[in-house]
Structure 1
Amino acid sequence: MGVRYSCKQTSTRLTVNLSAIRENHADLSRRVGKAECAAVVKADAYGLGMREVASSLAGSVQTFFVAQPEEGRQLRVFLPDKRIFVLHGFLPGQSEFMIRHGLIPVLNSLQQVREWRSFCQREGRNYPAALQFDTGMSRFGISSDEMHDDAVIGLKPVLVLSHLACADISSDCANQEQLRRFLEMSSVFPGVPRSLAASSGIFLGESYHFEMVRPGIALYGLAPGKEEGQLRSAVTLDARILQIRHLKQGDRIGYGLTYRAKRPMCVATVGIGYADGIFRSFSESGALWIKGRRLPVLGRISMDSLSVDLTDIPAGSLKEGDWVNVIGDDQALDQMAKSVGTIGYEILTSLGDRFDRLYQD
């Protein structure tokens, strides 16, 4: 197995399994049959490293999606021959930027449609663009009322798409209503490839697949609303023990002294905190792990550290400098997210850049 290691000499280590990401993409591709399985690598590939993730997928993926034009520019540097769609389209005056870097905007408003068409007319070229429909999420996209605008009718998109609001809840009737609206709106552009399903939408079934699907978080091992184990987890997060100390009953821990020892305790200070994406709400509700054994978090989480209980761990089995697990086999990303009342997306994209990064391939 090839390993690339970005060593910053920190107390934290993020391991990204690129093979697992490729296997997840292959699994999703099999699920959607003849539909193209693109890859969403926005937000620095959900915090895992856009360069490494996209380069690893380049052998099997022809189409990539990012959110912002600048992300597209960065991606273009190491993917010179792939299709790159920009989900937010562009801001006024950025049309030339899109062409310069070979980016395909997803047009989300009448203003974007009109500016893109005017730019193409001035240049004398029909540059490619995608068109998004608002099928009920009231976020991005052309509304059904705007479909009859001359600028929209005259557009020749290379892709039409929309986004499901409730795909993680398969029984939600909003999914079928959005599907109905998407079929109706896309019929205005016969023969143009269509895309409705992102990660969770893929699991809703064949009727949602169309000609392209756009997995994002599923590439990294999460499929919101689905049973765990359907995809391979691609992320492991570990942190080092910086100090071990013994407390007497009644001693207190951390900012605000919110935790009081109820008995003599052995406590470790671990070098990871909310600056590394470990939310303060993880305080006293969460845990780290070591070889299948739970280490409850004690007191408030600090910017760069947190405290865990080692009292029930055999004496001498852990020492300063040893690694404990934050995300991994004992604590899946979704499990950690649920413990703080959020979702895996937010945890993953909040992890920060202070970690040593280990890419396994």
Structure 2
Amino acid sequence: MSRKVRADIHLDAIVHNYRLARAQAPGASAVAVVKANAYGHGAVPVARALAAEADAFGVACIEEALELRAAGLAQPVVLLEGFFDADELPVIARQGFWPAVHSEHQLSWLEQADLPAAIPVWLKVDTGMHRLGFDPEAVPAVVERLRACAAVSEVLLMTHFACSDEPEKGMTEHQLARISTLVEALETGASMSNSAAVMAWPAAHYQWLRPGIMLYGATPFEHADPVAEGLQAAMTLSSEIIAVREVPAGESVGYGATFSSEHPVRVGTVAMGYGDGYSRHARTGTPVLVDGQRTRLVGRVSMDMLTVDLTDLPHAGVGSRVELWGRQLPVSEVARWCDTIPYTLLTCLTPRVPRSYE
């Protein structure tokens, strides 16, 4: 391999982070969320690393679940968006998948289904996110229908928090109160804790946690959090310097001539760009590490390359290793410079970047 772009996936870190999630609620089970190719880390290798630990896996759709089964993973798999067609239901029953049910049409399909085995259902309650789910007022009647349905073996309530990473907004308390009232009245189990709630909302833990971004070592919070301090980065994205230029004062670097300096600048060109999934929105000043020393991105990111400031790194040159994020540089910090969140940086990494598993 000549182009030195790579993503090193630290599977030991993912196992550590899963255990950290479980430790926040020792009495609860935890769904390891591996949707979207395990947030860009590789669903099958990640699931295999967690096979001895995970109580269940979480994916968005049946195609992602079948990939895990084909790889030999035997744990229950929660279909977080449920099923998109009635024809999926026999497969779900045979494979031991646990679907979310969020809409009347799904409920009707279940009631009409003749399945080889009854399946557990995770009933989605819309407590304020307003994407998917039944209104809380409708839930008692829906639960009654599901409990009377021959295709259903068990009903668990689930919801998703809109602002669990922003406690100052008060939204989580509102959502938690709405679903807790239903759980108590209907005597069901519940799952409502995404990563932020796992880390900071113990009242929301209930029977099933759903850690996602925290498995991959990134914090969902903009503020400091004691649990986040224990996370370990699961991916190190790196490349190398492929050229060095001495740029005179007043000259610009990159597309749009967005960067120029009043002083001469030594600029290194790195084999990494938005064609690899590194964000084009990364601004001048975005931190990078060159041979383990911190410096900054200068100019615009292009499809295959970006440029970094080597002025204060006289020993850096062609072949120097560049860490774009990883164990020494949190992806959450890079995300702030890109005006985005770590989820997008990790999931947008393209297949052109080879993954190496440790």
TM-score after normalising by structure 1: 0.89
Q: How does 1:184-203 map to 2 (within 5 A)?
A: 184-187=181-184, 189-190=186-187, 192-203=188-199
Q: Is the 8 A contact 2:93 2:116 kept in 1?
A: no
What is the alpha-carbon distance in structure 1 between the residues aligned to residue 177 and residue 257 of structure 2? Answer: 56
* Whole-Å separation in 1 of the counterparts to 2:168 and 2:260: 45
**Which amino acid is 1:90 matched to?**
F
Match of 2:54 in 1: 61
Is the CA contact 2:190–2:207 (under 8 Å) kept in the aligned structure 1? yes
Q: What residue is the counterpart of 1:219 in the other structure?
A: 215
Q: Take 2:115 and 2:91, find their aligned partners in 1: how far apart are those partners?
A: 13
Counterpart position of 1:72 = 65
Given that 1:168 and 1:200 are in contact with CA atoms closer than 8 Å, whether structure 2 keeps it comes out as yes
CA distance, structure 2, for counterparts of residue 111 and residue 9 of structure 1:
52
Corresponding position of 2:337: 339
Task: Verify: 1:131 aligned to 2:123, yes or no.
Answer: yes
Alignment partner of 1:102 is 2:99 = no
> Is the Cα–Cα contact under 8 Å of residues 133 and 160 in structure 1 kept in the other structure?
yes
The answer (yes or no) to whether the contact 1:239–1:271 under 8 Å persists in 2 is yes
1:5 maps to which residue?
Answer: none
* 8 Å contact kept, 2:243–2:270: yes
AA at the equivalent of 1:177: H
1:168 aligns with 2:170: no
Question: Where do 1:1-361 residues align within 5 Å?
Answer: 9-93=2-86, 94-119=88-113, 122-123=114-115, 125-147=117-139, 148-149=141-142, 151-152=145-146, 154-155=148-149, 156=152, 157-187=154-184, 189-190=186-187, 192-225=188-221, 226-227=224-225, 228-314=228-314, 317-360=315-358
For 1:56 and 1:241, the matched residues in 2 are separated by 32
C-alpha distance in structure 2 between counterparts of 1:53 and 1:72, whole Å: 13
Q: Check whether the contact 2:103–2:133 (CA below 8 A) recurs between aligned residues.
A: yes
**Which consecutive unaligned segments of at least 5 residues does structure 1 have?**
1-7
Runs of 4+ in 1 over 4 A off after TM superposition: none
Range with bigger deviation, 93-102 or 234-243: 93-102
* Whole-Å separation in 1 of the counterparts to 2:51 and 2:3: 30
Supply the AA of the counterpart residue of 1:78.
A
User: CA distance change for structure 1 residues 158 and 350 in 2, over 3 Å: closer, same or farther?
Assistant: same
**Greater Cα offset, 249-258 or 192-201:** 249-258
When residues 78 and 329 of structure 1 are mapped into structure 2, their CA distance, relative to the original with a 3 A threshold, is: closer
Task: Assess if the C-alpha contact under 8 Å between 1:11 and 1:355 holds in 2.
Answer: no
Whether the 8 Å CA contact 1:41–1:50 is kept in 2: the answer is: yes
Secondary structure in 1 matching 2:289: strand
- Taking a change above 3 Å as real, the CA distance of residues 207 and 291 of structure 1, as seen in their structure-2 partners, is same
5+ unaligned residues in a row in structure 2: which ranges?
none
2: CA distance between counterparts of 1:335 and 1:230? 16
Cα distance in 2, alignment partners of residues 124 and 333 from structure 1: 45
Displacement of 1:135: 1.2
Report 1 or 2 for greater relative contact order, CA contacts < 8 Å, sequence distance ≥ 6.
Answer: 1
Q: Work out the CA distance in 2 between the residues paired with 1:124 and 1:284.
A: 58
C-alpha distance in structure 2 between counterparts of 1:231 and 1:252, whole Å:
39
Equivalent position SS for 1:72: helix
* Structure 2: distance between partners of 1:87 and 1:140: 10
RMSD of aligned C-alpha atoms? 2.1
Q: Structure 1 residues 9 and 88 mapped into 2: Cα distance closer, same or farther (>3 Å)?
A: farther
Q: Per-residue CA shift, 1:41-86, capped at 9, x if unaligned?
A: 1000000011111100010112111011111111111244210010
2: CA distance, partners of 1:39 / 1:290: 33
Percent identity between the aligned chains?
31
Cα distance in 1 for partners of 2:175, 2:310 equals 51
Matched to 2:231, the amino acid is L
Partner of 1:3: none
What SS class does the counterpart of residue 280 from structure 1 fall into? coil
Matched residue SS, 1:294: strand
- The number of residues matched between the two structures is 348
TM-score (norm 2): 0.90
